[in-house]
Amino acid sequence: MNRAVVIGSGAGGAMCARELQGKFQVTVLEAGREFRPFGLNLNLIAKIRKTGLLFDSREIGWIFPAMRIRRAGSGMIVVSGSGSGGTTTLSTGNALRRDGALRALGIDLDEEFAELSREIPVLADHQRLWSPFTRSFFSICREMGLDPQALPKMGDHAHCRGCGRCVLGCPHGVKWDSRRLLEQALKNGARLLTSHRVERVVHEKGRASGVLVRHGLRRKWFPADLVILAAGGLGTPQVLQDSGIDCDAKLFVDPVLCVAAEMENCRQNRELPMPFAVQMNGYIISPYFDHLSFFFNREWRHQAGNVYSLMIKLADENRGGITGGRLRKTLSAADHGRLEQAADTCAEMFRRAGVDKSRLFFGTLNAGHPGGMLPLTAAQAKTFHDPRLPENLYVADASLFPASLGNPPILTILAMAKRVAGLCRRAG
Protein backbone atom coordinates (compact mmCIF):
# COMPACT_ATOMS: atom_id res chain seq x y z
CA MET A 1 0.00 0.00 0.00
CA ASN A 2 1.22 3.54 -0.76
CA ARG A 3 2.43 5.54 2.25
CA ALA A 4 0.90 8.85 3.27
CA VAL A 5 2.47 11.12 5.86
CA VAL A 6 0.10 13.57 7.55
CA ILE A 7 1.80 16.45 9.34
CA GLY A 8 -0.23 17.73 12.30
CA SER A 9 -3.18 16.15 14.10
CA GLY A 10 -5.55 19.12 14.46
CA ALA A 11 -8.73 19.74 12.50
CA GLY A 12 -7.29 19.31 9.01
CA GLY A 13 -4.70 16.61 9.78
CA ALA A 14 -6.98 14.31 11.75
CA MET A 15 -9.68 14.51 9.08
CA CYS A 16 -7.21 13.60 6.33
CA ALA A 17 -5.75 10.75 8.42
CA ARG A 18 -9.21 9.27 8.99
CA GLU A 19 -10.25 9.62 5.36
CA LEU A 20 -7.01 8.35 3.82
CA GLN A 21 -6.24 5.36 6.04
CA GLY A 22 -7.08 2.19 4.13
CA LYS A 23 -6.40 3.67 0.74
CA PHE A 24 -2.95 4.65 2.05
CA GLN A 25 -0.90 3.47 5.01
CA VAL A 26 -1.07 6.65 7.07
CA THR A 27 1.49 7.96 9.56
CA VAL A 28 0.51 11.10 11.48
CA LEU A 29 3.46 13.14 12.71
CA GLU A 30 2.56 15.52 15.53
CA ALA A 31 5.06 17.96 17.06
CA GLY A 32 3.30 18.12 20.44
CA ARG A 33 2.69 15.46 23.06
CA GLU A 34 -0.38 13.40 23.73
CA PHE A 35 -3.08 15.84 24.85
CA ARG A 36 -4.11 16.00 28.50
CA PRO A 37 -6.64 18.54 29.80
CA PHE A 38 -5.30 21.17 32.20
CA GLY A 39 -5.25 19.38 35.53
CA LEU A 40 -4.73 22.15 38.09
CA ASN A 41 -7.48 23.53 40.26
CA LEU A 42 -8.33 27.06 39.17
CA ASN A 43 -8.55 28.23 42.82
CA LEU A 44 -4.88 27.28 43.15
CA ILE A 45 -4.04 29.31 40.03
CA ALA A 46 -5.93 32.25 41.54
CA LYS A 47 -3.69 31.99 44.62
CA ILE A 48 -0.49 31.75 42.55
CA ARG A 49 -1.69 34.75 40.55
CA LYS A 50 -1.70 36.85 43.73
CA THR A 51 2.01 36.13 44.29
CA GLY A 52 2.83 37.94 41.02
CA LEU A 53 4.62 34.84 39.65
CA LEU A 54 2.30 34.71 36.66
CA PHE A 55 3.31 37.70 34.57
CA ASP A 56 3.99 36.44 31.05
CA SER A 57 1.28 34.49 29.22
CA ARG A 58 3.93 32.33 27.55
CA GLU A 59 4.38 30.71 31.02
CA ILE A 60 1.13 28.82 30.37
CA GLY A 61 3.19 26.22 28.46
CA TRP A 62 4.94 25.23 31.73
CA ILE A 63 1.70 24.20 33.38
CA PHE A 64 -0.33 23.35 30.28
CA PRO A 65 1.99 22.14 27.47
CA ALA A 66 -0.91 21.72 25.04
CA MET A 67 -1.28 25.49 24.83
CA ARG A 68 1.35 27.47 22.99
CA ILE A 69 1.60 31.24 23.07
CA ARG A 70 3.57 33.35 20.62
CA ARG A 71 4.02 37.09 20.71
CA ALA A 72 2.93 39.05 17.66
CA GLY A 73 3.16 42.83 17.15
CA SER A 74 0.90 45.44 18.81
CA GLY A 75 1.11 43.62 22.18
CA MET A 76 -1.00 40.82 20.74
CA ILE A 77 -0.43 37.15 21.58
CA VAL A 78 -1.37 34.22 19.35
CA VAL A 79 -2.63 31.03 20.97
CA SER A 80 -2.43 27.62 19.35
CA GLY A 81 -2.67 23.99 20.36
CA SER A 82 0.34 21.72 20.41
CA GLY A 83 -0.43 18.05 20.91
CA SER A 84 -2.73 15.36 19.63
CA GLY A 85 -5.91 17.08 18.48
CA GLY A 86 -4.09 20.33 17.73
CA THR A 87 -6.01 23.50 18.57
CA THR A 88 -9.39 21.71 18.48
CA THR A 89 -8.73 20.50 22.05
CA LEU A 90 -8.71 24.16 23.20
CA SER A 91 -11.80 25.18 21.30
CA THR A 92 -15.10 26.22 22.79
CA GLY A 93 -16.80 23.73 20.50
CA ASN A 94 -18.52 26.19 18.16
CA ALA A 95 -19.61 24.69 14.87
CA LEU A 96 -20.40 27.27 12.20
CA ARG A 97 -20.33 26.80 8.46
CA ARG A 98 -18.45 29.74 6.98
CA ASP A 99 -17.62 29.01 3.34
CA GLY A 100 -18.90 32.19 1.67
CA ALA A 101 -15.44 33.27 0.46
CA LEU A 102 -14.72 29.75 -0.82
CA ARG A 103 -18.03 29.62 -2.65
CA ALA A 104 -17.14 32.93 -4.29
CA LEU A 105 -14.08 31.15 -5.73
CA GLY A 106 -16.31 28.46 -7.23
CA ILE A 107 -15.79 25.89 -4.44
CA ASP A 108 -18.90 23.96 -3.48
CA LEU A 109 -18.49 22.01 -0.23
CA ASP A 110 -22.17 21.08 0.23
CA GLU A 111 -21.46 17.36 0.09
CA GLU A 112 -18.65 17.57 2.65
CA PHE A 113 -20.77 19.64 5.06
CA ALA A 114 -23.64 17.18 4.67
CA GLU A 115 -21.32 14.30 5.59
CA LEU A 116 -19.98 16.27 8.57
CA SER A 117 -23.47 16.86 9.86
CA ARG A 118 -23.94 13.07 9.94
CA GLU A 119 -20.56 12.44 11.59
CA ILE A 120 -20.28 15.09 14.32
CA PRO A 121 -22.98 15.61 16.93
CA VAL A 122 -23.93 19.30 17.17
CA LEU A 123 -26.29 20.88 19.70
CA ALA A 124 -27.53 24.47 19.82
CA ASP A 125 -30.20 23.86 22.42
CA HIS A 126 -28.11 24.44 25.55
CA GLN A 127 -30.01 27.36 27.12
CA ARG A 128 -30.58 25.26 30.26
CA LEU A 129 -26.87 25.86 31.01
CA TRP A 130 -27.06 29.67 30.80
CA SER A 131 -26.81 31.77 33.95
CA PRO A 132 -29.29 34.59 34.68
CA PHE A 133 -26.53 37.05 33.68
CA THR A 134 -26.10 35.42 30.27
CA ARG A 135 -29.87 35.31 29.75
CA SER A 136 -30.00 38.98 30.59
CA PHE A 137 -27.22 39.86 28.08
CA PHE A 138 -29.05 37.78 25.47
CA SER A 139 -32.20 39.88 26.08
CA ILE A 140 -30.16 43.09 25.92
CA CYS A 141 -28.75 42.07 22.54
CA ARG A 142 -32.30 41.42 21.35
CA GLU A 143 -33.47 44.80 22.64
CA MET A 144 -30.61 46.38 20.70
CA GLY A 145 -31.83 44.62 17.54
CA LEU A 146 -28.64 42.58 17.20
CA ASP A 147 -30.30 39.20 16.59
CA PRO A 148 -28.25 37.08 19.04
CA GLN A 149 -28.12 33.36 18.16
CA ALA A 150 -27.25 30.40 20.39
CA LEU A 151 -24.01 28.91 19.06
CA PRO A 152 -24.14 25.29 17.89
CA LYS A 153 -21.65 23.18 19.87
CA MET A 154 -19.77 20.11 18.63
CA GLY A 155 -19.98 17.23 21.08
CA ASP A 156 -22.38 15.55 23.42
CA HIS A 157 -23.60 18.74 25.05
CA ALA A 158 -26.73 17.12 26.42
CA HIS A 159 -24.23 15.89 29.06
CA CYS A 160 -22.32 19.18 29.41
CA ARG A 161 -21.75 20.09 33.05
CA GLY A 162 -21.22 23.77 32.35
CA CYS A 163 -17.87 23.69 34.13
CA GLY A 164 -16.44 26.45 31.92
CA ARG A 165 -13.15 24.69 31.19
CA CYS A 166 -13.55 24.08 27.44
CA VAL A 167 -10.44 26.06 26.47
CA LEU A 168 -8.39 24.07 28.99
CA GLY A 169 -9.54 20.76 27.50
CA CYS A 170 -12.89 19.24 28.41
CA PRO A 171 -12.28 17.04 31.50
CA HIS A 172 -15.60 15.25 30.99
CA GLY A 173 -15.22 14.03 27.40
CA VAL A 174 -18.24 16.06 26.29
CA LYS A 175 -16.73 18.43 23.77
CA TRP A 176 -15.82 17.08 20.32
CA ASP A 177 -12.22 17.51 19.26
CA SER A 178 -10.25 15.99 16.40
CA ARG A 179 -8.89 13.18 18.58
CA ARG A 180 -12.17 11.43 17.80
CA LEU A 181 -11.10 11.30 14.14
CA LEU A 182 -7.61 10.18 15.12
CA GLU A 183 -9.07 7.32 17.16
CA GLN A 184 -10.99 6.13 14.10
CA ALA A 185 -7.88 6.39 11.92
CA LEU A 186 -5.80 4.44 14.45
CA LYS A 187 -8.46 1.77 14.76
CA ASN A 188 -8.22 1.32 10.98
CA GLY A 189 -4.45 0.86 11.15
CA ALA A 190 -2.95 4.37 10.98
CA ARG A 191 -0.15 5.28 13.35
CA LEU A 192 0.29 8.48 15.32
CA LEU A 193 3.73 9.60 16.44
CA THR A 194 3.71 12.47 18.94
CA SER A 195 6.77 14.62 19.76
CA HIS A 196 7.75 14.30 16.09
CA ARG A 197 8.33 17.76 14.66
CA VAL A 198 8.63 17.88 10.89
CA GLU A 199 11.52 20.11 9.89
CA ARG A 200 11.03 20.02 6.15
CA VAL A 201 9.57 18.20 3.20
CA VAL A 202 12.22 16.82 0.86
CA HIS A 203 11.30 17.23 -2.80
CA GLU A 204 12.96 17.00 -6.14
CA LYS A 205 11.72 17.52 -9.70
CA GLY A 206 8.25 18.44 -8.51
CA ARG A 207 7.72 15.39 -6.26
CA ALA A 208 8.04 15.01 -2.51
CA SER A 209 9.98 11.94 -1.43
CA GLY A 210 9.39 12.23 2.32
CA VAL A 211 9.89 14.37 5.41
CA LEU A 212 12.74 15.05 7.80
CA VAL A 213 11.68 14.96 11.42
CA ARG A 214 13.17 16.02 14.76
CA HIS A 215 12.34 13.59 17.59
CA GLY A 216 14.15 14.64 20.78
CA LEU A 217 17.80 14.78 19.86
CA ARG A 218 17.35 12.44 16.93
CA ARG A 219 16.59 13.24 13.34
CA LYS A 220 14.43 10.76 11.42
CA TRP A 221 13.47 10.22 7.80
CA PHE A 222 9.95 9.24 6.76
CA PRO A 223 9.59 8.31 3.08
CA ALA A 224 6.17 9.05 1.58
CA ASP A 225 4.18 8.70 -1.63
CA LEU A 226 1.79 11.42 -0.46
CA VAL A 227 2.39 14.23 2.04
CA ILE A 228 -0.49 16.12 3.66
CA LEU A 229 0.65 19.26 5.45
CA ALA A 230 -1.79 20.29 8.17
CA ALA A 231 0.45 21.88 10.79
CA GLY A 232 -1.93 24.82 11.24
CA GLY A 233 -1.94 28.44 10.13
CA LEU A 234 1.51 29.08 11.60
CA GLY A 235 3.13 25.62 11.42
CA THR A 236 2.33 24.97 7.74
CA PRO A 237 3.96 28.14 6.30
CA GLN A 238 6.95 27.49 8.54
CA VAL A 239 7.45 23.96 7.17
CA LEU A 240 6.89 25.14 3.59
CA GLN A 241 9.40 27.97 3.88
CA ASP A 242 11.95 25.66 5.50
CA SER A 243 11.39 23.35 2.53
CA GLY A 244 12.19 26.16 0.08
CA ILE A 245 8.56 26.91 -0.87
CA ASP A 246 7.33 30.49 -0.58
CA CYS A 247 4.03 31.42 1.04
CA ASP A 248 1.99 34.62 0.82
CA ALA A 249 2.40 37.29 3.53
CA LYS A 250 -1.37 37.16 4.05
CA LEU A 251 -1.61 35.95 7.61
CA PHE A 252 -4.83 36.65 9.49
CA VAL A 253 -5.38 35.65 13.11
CA ASP A 254 -8.93 36.76 14.14
CA PRO A 255 -7.91 39.05 17.03
CA VAL A 256 -9.88 38.73 20.25
CA LEU A 257 -10.41 41.47 22.81
CA CYS A 258 -12.53 40.96 25.92
CA VAL A 259 -14.41 43.82 27.56
CA ALA A 260 -15.15 42.95 31.17
CA ALA A 261 -16.66 44.24 34.40
CA GLU A 262 -17.04 43.14 37.98
CA MET A 263 -20.52 41.68 38.42
CA GLU A 264 -20.93 40.00 41.74
CA ASN A 265 -21.44 36.26 41.75
CA CYS A 266 -22.02 36.06 37.97
CA ARG A 267 -19.83 32.89 37.88
CA GLN A 268 -19.19 33.16 34.16
CA ASN A 269 -15.94 31.24 34.76
CA ARG A 270 -18.12 28.18 35.45
CA GLU A 271 -20.40 28.43 32.49
CA LEU A 272 -20.33 27.04 28.95
CA PRO A 273 -18.22 29.64 27.09
CA MET A 274 -19.58 31.46 24.03
CA PRO A 275 -23.19 30.34 24.58
CA PHE A 276 -24.46 32.80 21.96
CA ALA A 277 -23.09 35.38 19.56
CA VAL A 278 -24.16 38.41 17.61
CA GLN A 279 -22.82 38.72 14.07
CA MET A 280 -21.77 42.28 13.22
CA ASN A 281 -20.07 43.70 10.16
CA GLY A 282 -16.52 42.29 10.44
CA TYR A 283 -16.71 41.01 14.01
CA ILE A 284 -18.75 38.99 16.46
CA ILE A 285 -19.53 39.58 20.13
CA SER A 286 -20.05 36.68 22.51
CA PRO A 287 -19.95 36.14 26.30
CA TYR A 288 -16.62 34.52 27.19
CA PHE A 289 -14.58 34.29 30.38
CA ASP A 290 -10.99 34.90 29.31
CA HIS A 291 -8.85 32.52 31.37
CA LEU A 292 -5.59 33.83 29.95
CA SER A 293 -6.38 37.41 30.97
CA PHE A 294 -7.52 36.18 34.36
CA PHE A 295 -4.21 34.32 34.86
CA PHE A 296 -1.81 36.90 33.45
CA ASN A 297 -3.40 40.34 33.03
CA ARG A 298 -3.10 42.57 36.11
CA GLU A 299 -6.23 44.50 35.11
CA TRP A 300 -8.15 41.33 35.92
CA ARG A 301 -7.71 41.63 39.69
CA HIS A 302 -11.25 40.69 40.74
CA GLN A 303 -12.22 37.22 41.86
CA ALA A 304 -12.90 34.92 38.91
CA GLY A 305 -16.52 34.30 39.94
CA ASN A 306 -17.21 38.06 39.91
CA VAL A 307 -16.01 38.86 36.38
CA TYR A 308 -18.36 38.97 33.39
CA SER A 309 -16.75 39.44 30.02
CA LEU A 310 -17.84 39.96 26.41
CA MET A 311 -15.49 38.81 23.69
CA ILE A 312 -14.98 40.72 20.46
CA LYS A 313 -13.66 38.50 17.68
CA LEU A 314 -12.51 40.46 14.68
CA ALA A 315 -12.09 39.49 11.02
CA ASP A 316 -8.70 41.16 10.53
CA GLU A 317 -7.02 42.20 7.30
CA ASN A 318 -4.80 39.43 5.98
CA ARG A 319 -1.40 41.05 6.27
CA GLY A 320 1.53 39.49 8.11
CA GLY A 321 3.53 36.32 8.23
CA ILE A 322 5.88 33.98 10.06
CA THR A 323 9.49 33.41 9.05
CA GLY A 324 12.22 31.64 10.98
CA GLY A 325 9.78 31.22 13.88
CA ARG A 326 9.24 35.01 14.10
CA LEU A 327 5.65 36.12 13.90
CA ARG A 328 4.96 39.46 12.20
CA LYS A 329 1.40 40.53 12.66
CA THR A 330 0.11 43.95 13.55
CA LEU A 331 -3.37 45.35 13.27
CA SER A 332 -4.18 47.85 10.52
CA ALA A 333 -5.89 51.19 11.14
CA ALA A 334 -9.12 49.64 9.81
CA ASP A 335 -8.78 46.73 12.28
CA HIS A 336 -8.29 49.17 15.16
CA GLY A 337 -11.29 51.20 13.99
CA ARG A 338 -13.55 48.14 14.03
CA LEU A 339 -12.22 47.07 17.43
CA GLU A 340 -13.11 50.48 18.88
CA GLN A 341 -16.55 50.34 17.35
CA ALA A 342 -17.06 46.84 18.80
CA ALA A 343 -15.84 47.96 22.23
CA ASP A 344 -18.43 50.79 22.16
CA THR A 345 -21.16 48.25 21.38
CA CYS A 346 -20.01 46.11 24.34
CA ALA A 347 -20.00 49.20 26.57
CA GLU A 348 -23.59 49.87 25.56
CA MET A 349 -24.53 46.28 26.44
CA PHE A 350 -22.95 46.68 29.86
CA ARG A 351 -24.67 50.07 30.34
CA ARG A 352 -28.02 48.42 29.73
CA ALA A 353 -27.00 45.76 32.27
CA GLY A 354 -26.40 48.53 34.83
CA VAL A 355 -22.59 48.78 34.53
CA ASP A 356 -21.09 52.21 33.94
CA LYS A 357 -18.36 52.57 31.29
CA SER A 358 -15.87 53.72 33.97
CA ARG A 359 -16.03 50.21 35.53
CA LEU A 360 -15.05 48.35 32.38
CA PHE A 361 -11.62 46.84 31.81
CA PHE A 362 -10.06 45.05 28.85
CA GLY A 363 -8.45 41.65 28.42
CA THR A 364 -5.15 40.92 26.72
CA LEU A 365 -5.35 41.25 22.94
CA ASN A 366 -5.03 37.68 21.71
CA ALA A 367 -5.86 35.55 18.70
CA GLY A 368 -6.43 31.87 18.03
CA HIS A 369 -7.42 31.42 14.37
CA PRO A 370 -4.22 31.88 12.32
CA GLY A 371 -4.44 31.10 8.62
CA GLY A 372 -4.38 32.40 5.08
CA MET A 373 -0.75 32.02 4.04
CA LEU A 374 -1.40 29.55 1.20
CA PRO A 375 -4.84 30.80 0.16
CA LEU A 376 -6.96 28.94 -2.37
CA THR A 377 -7.71 30.79 -5.59
CA ALA A 378 -10.37 30.38 -8.25
CA ALA A 379 -7.78 28.58 -10.42
CA GLN A 380 -7.41 25.93 -7.67
CA ALA A 381 -11.14 25.48 -7.07
CA LYS A 382 -11.13 21.98 -8.58
CA THR A 383 -7.66 20.80 -7.59
CA PHE A 384 -7.12 22.31 -4.10
CA HIS A 385 -3.47 22.26 -5.12
CA ASP A 386 -1.18 25.29 -5.24
CA PRO A 387 1.21 25.09 -8.22
CA ARG A 388 4.08 26.07 -5.89
CA LEU A 389 3.75 22.69 -4.19
CA PRO A 390 5.23 19.38 -5.38
CA GLU A 391 2.49 17.38 -7.13
CA ASN A 392 2.10 14.91 -4.24
CA LEU A 393 2.12 17.50 -1.43
CA TYR A 394 -1.23 18.98 -0.35
CA VAL A 395 -2.07 21.52 2.34
CA ALA A 396 -5.23 20.80 4.36
CA ASP A 397 -5.68 23.33 7.13
CA ALA A 398 -6.50 26.97 7.92
CA SER A 399 -3.69 28.13 5.60
CA LEU A 400 -6.10 27.54 2.68
CA PHE A 401 -8.61 30.25 3.67
CA PRO A 402 -8.62 33.16 1.22
CA ALA A 403 -9.61 35.60 4.00
CA SER A 404 -10.23 35.80 7.71
CA LEU A 405 -13.59 34.45 8.84
CA GLY A 406 -13.77 36.39 12.10
CA ASN A 407 -15.73 33.34 13.12
CA PRO A 408 -15.10 29.77 14.31
CA PRO A 409 -13.31 27.97 11.46
CA ILE A 410 -13.12 24.28 12.53
CA LEU A 411 -16.16 23.03 10.63
CA THR A 412 -15.05 24.71 7.41
CA ILE A 413 -11.48 23.42 7.82
CA LEU A 414 -12.88 19.91 8.29
CA ALA A 415 -14.89 20.29 5.07
CA MET A 416 -11.84 21.51 3.12
CA ALA A 417 -9.70 18.67 4.51
CA LYS A 418 -12.37 16.16 3.54
CA ARG A 419 -12.23 17.53 -0.01
CA VAL A 420 -8.43 17.29 -0.10
CA ALA A 421 -8.52 13.71 1.17
CA GLY A 422 -11.19 12.81 -1.41
CA LEU A 423 -9.06 14.20 -4.24
CA CYS A 424 -6.01 12.28 -2.98
CA ARG A 425 -7.98 9.05 -2.61
CA ARG A 426 -9.20 9.29 -6.17
CA ALA A 427 -5.72 10.14 -7.49
CA GLY A 428 -3.90 7.53 -5.36
Q: Which residues bind ligand FAD (CB under 6 A)?
A: 7-13, 29-32, 79-83, 86-88, 90-94, 167, 197-198, 230-233, 235, 239, 368-369, 397-398, 408-410, 413
Contact partner at residue 345 from ligand FAD, ligand SF4, none, CB < 5 to 8 Å by partner kind: none
**Residue 174 interacting with ligand SF4 (CB under 6 A):** yes
By CB under 6 A, the count of residues binding ligand SF4 is 14
Does position 127 interact with ligand SF4 (CB under 6 A)? The reply is: no
Among 13, 81, 148, 162, which residue interacts with ligand SF4 (rule: CB under 6 A)?
162
Instruction: List Cα–Cα distances, 30 to 13, 170, 231, 392, in angstroms.
Output: 9, 20, 8, 20
Contact range with ligand SF4 by CB under 6 A, out of 112-120, 168-176, 245-253, 339-347? 168-176
Contact flag: residue 165 with ligand SF4 (CB under 6 A): yes
> Per CB under 6 A, which of residues 175..214 are in contact with ligand SF4?
175
Contact call for residue 172 and ligand SF4 (CB under 6 A): yes
Which of ligand FAD, ligand SF4, none is residue 116 near (CB under 5 to 8 Å by kind)?
none
Q: Which residue is nearest to ligand FAD (CB)?
A: 10
- Residue 169: CB minimum distance to ligand SF4, A: 8
Site membership for ligand SF4, residue 304 (CB under 6 A): no
80 interacts with, out of ligand FAD, ligand SF4, none, CB within 5 to 8 A per kind: ligand FAD
Q: Which does 10 bind (CB under 5 to 8 A by kind): ligand SF4, ligand FAD, none?
A: ligand FAD
Question: If binding is defined by CB under 6 A, does position 163 make contact with ligand SF4?
Answer: yes
Instruction: Please say which residue, 8 or 375, places its beta carbon nearer to ligand FAD.
Output: 8
Contact 138, 130 (CB under 8 A): yes
Q: Does 164 bind ligand SF4 (CB under 6 A)?
A: yes
272 touches ligand SF4 (CB under 6 A) = yes
By C-beta, is 308 or 394 nearer to ligand SF4? 308
Q: How far apart are CA 415 and CA 100, in angstroms?
A: 13
268 binds, among ligand FAD, ligand SF4, none (CB under 5 to 8 A by kind): none
Using CB under 6 A, pick the residue from 103, 161, 207, 326 that binds ligand SF4.
161
Interface with ligand SF4 (CB under 6 A): 93, 155, 160-166, 170, 172, 174-175, 272
